[in-house]
Amino acid sequence: MRVGVVQLSSTLDTERNLTAAAQLIERAARAGARIVVLPEVFNRRGESARVREQAESLEGLSSAWAAERAREHGLWLVAGSLAEVAEQSCHNTSCLYSPEGRQVAVYRKIHLFDVDIPGAVAKESANVTPGSELVVAEVDGRGLGLTVCYDLRFPELYRRLTLLGARIVTVPSAFTERTGRDHWEVLLRARAIENQVFVLAPNQFGTTPGTPTSYGRSMIVDPWGTVLAQAGDAETVILADLDFQRQDEIRERLPSLSHRRPDLYAWPDPPAKR
């Protein structure tokens, strides 16, 4: 299965962002991508203090645009994330669209980015309400787990998604340059290796007013931790072929998932799913 990961340098201009994303989705589709993933806040990035004013419903402009792109190209589209209207607040929400243009899964970011690091100061919880549900959807018979950016620092989430049947996880991000240069690749490869999953991680790149500089370097990582593709410092799309037979072989030859000792851990296993 060929996949595409789109790296953007989104701004406050939604029309401009959607036009840039559409061009890169089309490039991925022409190259044969079956799944395409956009980065966090793909439709509008900047002025985080005003995010609630700029939030949309999941029937709004950006969602309708994403549904049409999926239908137009006949592919699965993970619409990175957008600010979704919520009661007295908003969610940071990632949506999955089918090749028919149906919205088939909605994930609301669980872990909010509240940090005080020079070059990466943020308090996402001032404007965003966290979600409370894990989401694994079926894509062409295989589980795809949805996450967003700061979730990457919480390995428990990825293990749970794997136990719920994820063979692929998506990590649409606006990962900061300050933390990204030290942590981005290490964390992505760790999540892939720990859970023997494919990781599709589109990132924002560059600077826009009102938000920290984003690191870029979008990546596709295989279950062995090998980086199959990595973006440079520009708006682009990267492509890779996911070999599920190799994933099966890795899980068979190095069966770490079956060597777990949940009787000694702090939480019970969720029900087994495909």
* Measured distance CA(13)–CA(260) in Å, rounded: 47
Architecture of domain 2-264: 4-Layer Sandwich (3.60)
Q: Is 49 exposed, middle or buried (0-12, 13-18, 19+ CB in 10 A)?
A: exposed
- A 10 A CB-CB count for 271 gives 8
Q: What is the pLDDT of residue 197?
A: 98
Residue 210's pLDDT band (cuts 50, 70, 90): confident
- Please list the active-site residues: 40, 109, 149
Q: Does residue 271 carry a pLDDT above 70?
A: no
Mean pLDDT of the chain: 95
Average pLDDT over residues 146-162: 97
Average pLDDT over residues 217-235: 98
Q: Is 8 exposed, middle or buried (0-12, 13-18, 19+ CB in 10 A)?
A: buried
Q: In the chain, where are the structural domains located? A: 2-264
Q: How many residues does the chain have?
A: 274
Q: What is the pLDDT of residue 136?
A: 98
Average pLDDT over residues 118-126: 87
Percent of the chain at pLDDT above 70? 96
CA atoms within 13 A on the CB side of 15: 0
What is the DSSP annotation of 176-198?
A: BHHHHHHHHHHHHHHHHHHHT-E
Q: What is the pLDDT of residue 122?
A: 86
Average pLDDT over residues 21-28: 98
* Measured distance CA(145)–CA(235) in Å, rounded: 25
Q: Does residue 262 carry a pLDDT above 90?
A: no
Residue 51's pLDDT band (cuts 50, 70, 90): confident
Give the Å distances, CA to CA, from 197 to 78, 143, 162, 166: 17, 10, 8, 7
Identify which has the larger pLDDT, 142 or 267: 142
Q: What is the pLDDT of residue 88?
A: 81
Q: What is the pLDDT of residue 114?
A: 93
